[in-house]
Structure 1
Amino acid sequence: MSKLVIQTVLLIIEVFSIPVDNGVDGDPEIECGTSSIAINANTRNPFKGHVYVKLYLNIP
């Protein structure tokens, strides 16, 4: 039974996944401040979206 549930979840993830044709060109520039971090990177294609730090999505 649990094998069927796992297979179903994996199928749903595969069906609803959206491939992103993009990537970082070169090395990103990282600047560390006293209470912040700035990251700049050039991408192969224009990027419109948000980048989140893992586990910090809801922390301003």
Structure 2
Amino acid sequence: MVIALSGTPKTLPDQTDDYKKFWSEYQPCTLTSLRPAGGPRMAPVEVTTAPATGIV
């Protein structure tokens, strides 16, 4: 899987150790999209990573 970061996209195994450590810990996240009227719709989500395979 390719991750969009500022700059060149990288696969998870190419990320720094700090990046991998950050995502190995529980991180509350939200997925936000815009409603037809323009207001935000936010949903809580969890992220799972598998650095050895590059899966996010």
TM-score with structure 2 setting the length: 0.25
Larger CA Rg, structure 1 vs 2: 1
TM-score between the two structures when normalised by the length of structure 1:
0.25
Structure with a larger share of its residues in helix:
1
